[in-house]
A and B are shown apart, each in its own frame.
Chain A
Amino acid sequence: TQLLEQSPQFLSIQEGENLTVYCNSSSVFSSLQWYRQEPGEGPVLLVTVVTGGEVKKLKRLTFQFGDARKDSSLHITAAQPGDTGLYLCAGADYKLSFGAGTTVTVRA
């Protein structure tokens, strides 16, 4: 059983559209990290959210941490082909617990 559930599992959209990826858990985490993994590479950290209700923006990417620190979302505005990849969330307590990931494909 996955500690962190990500949805959807797959997402395919046209360039210019918006998308949202969700990360949900029944556990409370001290922080939550989002990673992006491209084919043939290891995951790379995008952002860490720490405070319940926190919103962080990274250019066209907006990350939100739920008030109860159990869930998070990643919203991409006007997606581009370069956003294609596997997006992973990871909850942090004494270690990182990863979700299964959402594979995002942005078609030109």
Chain B
Amino acid sequence: EAQVTQNPRYLITVTGKKLTVTCSQNMNHEYMSWYRQDPGLGLRQIYYSMNVEVTDKGDVPEGYKVSRKEKRNFPLILESPSPNQTSLYFCASSYSGDTEAFFGQGTRLTVV
């Protein structure tokens, strides 16, 4: 079954404690991206990757890091989380940046 898997689904952490949200896809897609979803603001792209070892900033990259060492995995790293990063996060993969995006089930992050 074609899918994008994110972990964890829920995470509560404290300000400043580094965390990683994992994302894996089994569709051999080259393009992967991370979004955050906030009420009234929709989905905003944080970072994207067009291929292995190729990553670039999206619309709201501050406070986040990513890596793409393998085609299937695209982890999101928050080195020093702050309360304004409390949000619902989605990983997505697609054939290219403008084609159908397949989303994971989301990670609800709360930073206290």
Contacts and interface: CB of A to CB of B under 8 A. Distances in A.
Interface stretch (A52-60, A61-69, A92-100): A92-100
Contact of A95 (B42, B97, B103, B104): B97
B43 A98 contact: yes
Interface residues of B, number: 22
Given A40-B105, A45-B101, A95 B41 contact: no
Interface size range of chain A in the complex = 20 to 34
Interface string B34-74: 01000011111100100000000010000000000000000
A88 B97 contact: no
A45 B100 contact: yes
Indicate the member of A45, A90, A92, A96 with the most B CB atoms within 10 Å. A96
B106 interface: yes
A30 interface: yes
Interface string A1-30: 010100001000000000000000000001
A2 B105 contact: no
A92 B98 contact: yes
B90 to A, nearest CB: 5
Given A4-B42, A42-B90, 6 more contacts: A31-B98, A33-B100, A43-B43, A94-B97, A96-B98, A98-B35
Interface of A: 2, 4, 9, 30-31, 33, 40-45, 48, 88, 90, 92-96, 98-101
6 contacts: A33-B101, A40-B106, A95-B58, A95-B98, A100-B41, A100-B42
